[in-house]
Each structure stands twice: as C-alpha cells, then as structure tokens.
Structure 1
C-alpha cells in the first residue's frame, strides 16, 4: 500500500513537473511572440515616420527648384530674387534664408541682415567645397549640416546646382540654396512621433561624403532598447532613426507571468481557456495578415492564397480575372493630398464589391492597383459587369466635397484564353496596358497576340502610368542584349506605330534599328563609351536622326539615363525631343 501511495505521489509530482515545463515553454513562446509583434509594429511606425521626413525634405528641395526655374527661365539672369525669396520664406517658417551663388560665389541672400557671413566662395571653402563639387558632378541636390546659425539654433544647407543649356550641353551656372532650421523643418515628423507615444533620436551624416552620423534632433534623454531604422534621402544622405515607447516596452512589464505559471499548474482550466483565446487570436491575426488595412480588400498574399485554394477545389471551372488601376492616381495625391487618395481607394473597393457582387474576390496589389476574380464566370459572362463598372461614375466624398476619378481595366479568363490563374493575370495586365496606351478610362479584354511579346510588362505594373501620361516619347532599353523592353504611346506616335507589338515587330530585337544608317555607327560608339564608365543615375545627351516606319528621317535630341534595376540589371532610359 505504501509502495502504491509512493508511486502515485511520484507520478503526481512528475505530472506537475511536466505541466510546469509545458507552461514555462508556452509562456516563453508567448512572451517572445509578443516582443516580436510589438517591435515589428514599432518598426512599421518608424518606416511611416521616415516617409514623412522624406516628404518634408522634398518640400524643402522644391523651394530651391523654384529658384532654379527662375534663373533658367531668365537665361541665367537674377530677376526679382528678393521678392521671390520673401514670398517663399513667408510660406515656410522653417526657412532661415534663401541664397543664390553664381559660379559658386554667394552674392544674393534674403534676408541679408544677420547673414552677411554667408557671402563666401563655396567652391573654395574647405568644408563646403567638396560637397558642392559632389553636387555639380552628379547633378544632384545636396544636404549639409547640421551647423550653428548666426541667429542662434541649428540649421542645414540645401544646395541645388543650376545648369543652363549652351550649344546643346549643360553648363554649370551656380547654386540655389536654402538654409533650413532644425528641428523646425521636421515639425510634422516630431509631432507625429510624440502623439504616437514614442521617444526618438534622429541621426544623419553631415554630407553625402561622410559616413559619421551626428544627432539632428531627439525627444527623451534615454531610449529603452530602441528599434533602429536606416534610410536614405534623394540627397544621398544616410539617416538613422532610433525609436522606443515613452513608457517602455509592454513585454518587459509582464511580471504577472510568474503568478500565471503557478496558478496554471493548479487550475488546469485556465490552460484550456488560454488555448481557446489563443486560437481566436490566431484567427484574427490570420485575417489581418491577408487583408489590406486601408480598404479591407485582400492583400496580394491573401488573394493569391484564396485563388490557389479555389483552383485546387474547382480545377475545371471557368473564372475571369480583372486587373485595374486608378487613372492618374499620382495626380490625385499631389493635388488633393494623400488622405484624398486613400479615400479614393476605399470608395473604389466599395464600388467593386457592389458591382461585381458578394461572390467576387477583390484584392489590392499595392498602390492604386487592384485585381478582381469572378469565380464561375467566363469572360463573356463577365463583360456586362465589367462594362457596368467602367460606366459607373467614380466619386470619392472627402469633407463633403465630391472628387471624381476614373479607372482602366483589362481582363482575361481561365481555363480558356489562359491555362492557369497566373497566366490569366499576365493576360489581364497586358490588356490593361493596351487600355493605358489607348488613352485610359476604359476597359479591354485580352486579345491573342498581346502577350506574345511580353517586353512591355517587364518593368512591372508601375510603368503603366507612363504609358499614356508622359507627353515625351520614352524608350527603355536593357543593356544586356541591347533589347528594347518598354515604349510609351508618345514614342509609338513618333515612329508611326499602332501598338507596342507593332513597334517591336518592325524594329526587331535591337534599338540600333531606330537610328538612321548615317548616324548609327557614331551613336553606337558614343553610347559604348558612355556605358563603359557610367554610374547609376548618370545622364548623357546626344543628337541623331531616327528612321520611322513610313521611311521618314527625323532629327531628335535624346537624353539618356543609366539606371541599375534590382530585378532587370542595367537599363537605359531614352527620351526623344524633336529639334
């Protein structure tokens, strides 16, 4: 009997020990997951703050662009500088001063009082000279600082090189300069971070030529195990944002976990309740992981996952896939603001769900690009709904004001035209591209032959916006293979081509066929020399004649930009301007 009792006791101890280990493991896992989620959320917020900071800097850079345009429009003459500078500073209290530096020498400052020490030769200055020459060489706006201002406080210098075209070549004129106050220029970022309940330290290198980072602004003296985010701006400055909650991390304050472990060993029911709660939380997280937070449509991952499951369950059932986007969406954001753009996307999602019905699967690929699947409907059966959606007046209501917009759609079906879902998406995207080429605000089904030459889509969905929106003829050539892979509508018109497949068929696999025979060897040699030493973003101008499909010889000026694409390697962007 004693033996049995002792065995029971040992068994009970073993059961409690195993339960303790199980609970400890579960709690350790939960704590780790909580830490990961909280820090990921903070990293997501930090990325949003970095975007706001970039926008504030771009707004400041646009001020020097206004000064540049004034100089260029007056052929290098300084006209009404004080009046223009006064108007700009009145609209932006974060500006310390605006300056002009012909040939690198600062001759004009507004306001001049208190800033007389800024009348210097920048190119000869030991601190400013190297940065100025870097901006001239690379044709980019530079940002230098922070440094102490004569009026007190700190500031940063935005210097934008100005080039005038003489005899077809860019000639350096000087600099348009904006002295910005720090941290005043970043007040939107600072306010947003503060209201979100976070402390931060913001660092930047003092110029594109240095790697050492200095503190630009901060809130809070110490940060608790901060999340670090590094990013770059258009001025080639490297920034680092350190951010942590003002009141500390929640996952570090969970001392109740120890009590929970002891109670859980005694009260097994709590474990059951926790498991039920965990399952519910997992379902919520799974939904959040597959939904776009703005529109509540499926995100790309959720949409693809749903369609894969559907195809497996209904392998022979026809379905229509529609690719669409908002026409000139960037203009909506630029003119009305991003909050209006967000409302456009929300209202468009509602319209898609209302027109296509509850069985339609609506997804947002990103930006203003959407994909809709109509399970069980062939392309012919779907056409009345697609036509209805195209004719529907698209309006977003913001602050009780209607904002009209339009959409373009391309569609295909599978199995039918396409063999599978992925191919149907490509076909629908090809049809959408043709709608953009034809003028937008319409819809089109896939026609056989559109995808036989897929080069127009190799740059991704983002290039569709250029298809009908850029008035300048544009060609993109892949350096490896010398192959044209993108052409916009303006270039089709220049070369008298009806469509992009027609353009590729006529000119073959080499852009050299565009060039008139008497210029071909010269241009090829010049381009070869340029590519041999070109860096990412570097530009090159050339004059030559092109040969159109109707045998016309047209003389053009072309600006070429060398660009390294992460997915497609080295590319050349070429525009064609008639002389």
Structure 2
C-alpha cells in the first residue's frame, strides 16, 4: 500500500530508513566533532610537548652559558689581579710580573695562551717567555682594536676581543682590562695601560662542548663586537642547529648568544605518536559506541511502538490506546471527549466473497481516511478485527457529533488490483466527561459506545447513534449469530446466481447435499456453474419463462420482484426430484442483478411422479 500522510502527520507504514539515516548523520557528526576535538587536543599536546622540549633546550642553553661565564670570570680574575698589583705599586711591578703571573696562571684551569702587560697600549711584558715575539706590539695600531681599547678606557670595564691570532699557534680570545693610577685627590685617575690574558679557542669551550654533545644537542656560539654589532660565529657543531632556542648574555663589552637545538631536529613523535594513535582509536570506539547506543535506542523505541501499534493499519492497538488515555488522564488533558466505536458493515462477507487481501485493504483504507478526516488531536486505534475506536477530545460536543456523523456519510471506496470496492460503516458513540456525576471511567464509556454501535447494527447498519441510557447490551445477543451460522444451518437449500449470465455465485451445504455432490467444487462441476445445470433439461425453458413473467408482473405492480416455480432436478446419482423454487431478484452493488433462491424438496410431487420419473441412472 502506498504510504500516505494525512493531517495527523503520521506515516501509515514507518519508514525504516529514516531512523537509520538519522543515526548515520548523528554518528557522523559525533565523529567529526570528536575528530575536531581530537585534532585540537593533538595540536595542544604537540604544542605542549614542543614547548617542553624547547624549554628544556633553553634551560640547557642557560646552564652552558653560565659555564662559559664562569670560565670568563677566571680569566677576568687574572687581569684584575694584575691590574690591582700595578695600581697598588704605582705602575712599578714590572720586575715582579713573571712571579705574580706564574702564580695566577697555575691556579687557573683555563687554557691560557699568554699574559701581557701593555703600559700605554704597547706590549712590554709577556708570559711565558716563549711569547716574547709580541713585545713592542702597539695595541692601538689597528683601528678596530683602538676603538675597543678606547671603549674600555671610557667605561672602565673589561673587554673581550677576538678570536684573534696572538702571533701563536691557533686562535685566542683577548680579555683586556684597563689599569688606572691615582695621581692625586684633586686630579682624575690616569690610564696606565692594559692587562691582557689570551685564552685559547676552542680549548676554552671544550668542557661546555662535551656536555652539549652528551645532551644530544647541536650548538652555535656567537658574539658581537664591543659596540654590539652583528653577531659572528665563534663555535658551531658539525650539525647546524635548526630553529634553535637562544640565550643571550653580556660579558666583556660584548653580546654573547648560545643557540641550541636537538641534533636530530625537533621530533616529538615517539610517545606523542602513540598518544595520537590511542586518541584516534578512542575516537573510533566512541563513534562506534554512539552508533550502537542510537541503534539500541531505536530498537527499544521500535519495540515500544510495535507493542502499541497495530501492524496492519499503523494505528494504535488496544494496549496503545489504553496507555495514551491513561497518560492523558494522568496529565489532566482529557476533560471531555467523544468515545466512538465503529466497524465495517458485513466485513466477513467482504472477506468470504473477495478474499482476505481485499478485506485487509479495506481496513487499511479505513485507517487512512480516519487519519485524514479527523482532527490532529483525535486518538485513533484498531480494536481488533474490523472494529476501530476513536477518542475525540472536544469542548464543543455538537461540533464533534457533526464530525462523527459526517464521517459515516462519507463515501468509502478503494481500488485494489484495478477493481473498485465499496463498503459502509456503522458507528456508535458516548460522551465522556471528567467531572460527570455517574463516575464512569473511559472504559465504561467505551462499552456504552459499543452498545450504541450494535444498536445501529440492529437497525440496518450504515449509520451512527449516540448512546442513550435506554440502550442495553443484552440486545447484542441478536447479533451473536453470524451470517455463516444462518446460511449453513438453515434447513433450506440456498442458491445465488447471476440473473443475466445465470452463473452460480453461491450454494450452501444443504443445496450441495440435495444434489448428492461431495463439495462445492463437485457441485459446480456437475452443474457447469450455471442455473441451467440445476433445472431438468426438459423443464428449463418453461421454468425460465415462468420466472421472468412473474418478475415482470411484480415490476409493473412496483412490488418486490419475487417468483415461485416447481420443477424437476437430476442429482449427481441420477435421481429425479421435484423442488419448490422461491426466488427474489435484487440489485447488487457489486454483481448487478442477482437471484436469491430457496429450493425446498417437494416430497408430495416426488411421491406422485415416482413411477414415471425414474431414470435408468
């Protein structure tokens, strides 16, 4: 059956793909949101790990820079010691230079290349003696060194020059300290000259380099000139640091910069990669769990729906109806309503004549038009079989009753397998009010509506009645006999056949027995499915003429089209019997004009004609 949506906004058949599609969409959204959160968390974790790694490198840079400053401070202590000795001796310590210098150098662990005294900026004393080749060198001779020495003089501070070649093997850093002498309280100090210590490069950095290498780091040590010019590289590892962290410090009138980076690059994928994989697996598990929970929720919802829904029509079943009524009563929403009971007239006949498929289609069709016709707030249910229940909440009883009566008069027809079928319904209803004095419950009112329905049945069907106190359920006893009971137990042979083509439409057991046939198929085969096969061949023309003459006479009198004839029949076993045929021609909505006939054996005629009517079998 086509899925039809009425005013009530419900599908006659639930669309199973809808919840599945919704679940997939929700699950996909959960996955995408989870993926986004996982990506954010992953990025945050990456940033934290990278920050931690860089902070660790920065801390190493601070530690290694501190080691360098400690080495520099040793060299500074030597030049400071010499400067103090010269200042204290008023510049006359030249004779004790070797002794004092030897004492200071032996106490230091620095890789010292040489120590010099430069009174007036010219080298006059050198330690050790092997460096005598530098004597007489004027420190102010080169413009760059001259500027550096002037800077030291003006600022009274240590300067570090180089690396430079102190006319020896390899390179060295020159640590030079200006020396000032007091010449009187009223006069400023005079520059005596400079003390200088030359420290070997890269020997001075060996311990620091060893520690850096052990840490698995690439390094670069840079320094500026005394006036903080551009950085120049002093020392660098065999692998250049990539995107290094830096630590900058000042010493000796220069800016020093220690740069460090992991030798293998900034890789955080080890445990980070495992954490990322675990996070993604957790996301997949969460997505799967979401889908499972949604699937289970839909299953439970579907089971609840199945428990409360009639599968044929999609309406509520009796259990669902009672649950909805109880919920509305508990919520105080059902104050006044019409309770309606209805069923399809002669539904069993529809099933017997047309088959159960047509009967089922009639039930589905009735459910559809109920959903379309009644307002959204109406509660619709199938009570079982061809019985339906409508609970119509209303504040206007008269309007609600008009709706019910209009529905009865609505033409009901449906198309099934290219054939149009018609049916009618009967309805009974009763009024429910929450504040009624008789205290009747909704179930009591439903029983009243049922009584009203069967009152309609007893008065010709295809109608509608409101329950009145005078109606009694006892009158339903008259409806307790089904058409099958009447037709098959009535002591008369019943025949129904088409008036035009004379095709047999129905024969009861009594008629089949009268013709001594085994069953209906045997009877139809014997009579060739025709009224002509029932009448004795010698009597047929006379009987047929008599029937239609009587029908014509009744039509002229505007009376019921009845007929009565006597004729012979021949049973399957060859016996000839007389029967009385009492028939009536009626107009059937489905079959057109048909004859309803009762055949009564005429035993008196059988007795009179017994000797002459015998056949030889």
Taking structure 1 as the reference length, what is the TM-score of the superposition? 0.44
- TM-score with structure 2 setting the length: 0.41
User: Which is higher, the Rg of structure 1 or of structure 2?
Assistant: 2
**RCO comparison, higher one (Cα < 8 Å, 6+):** 2
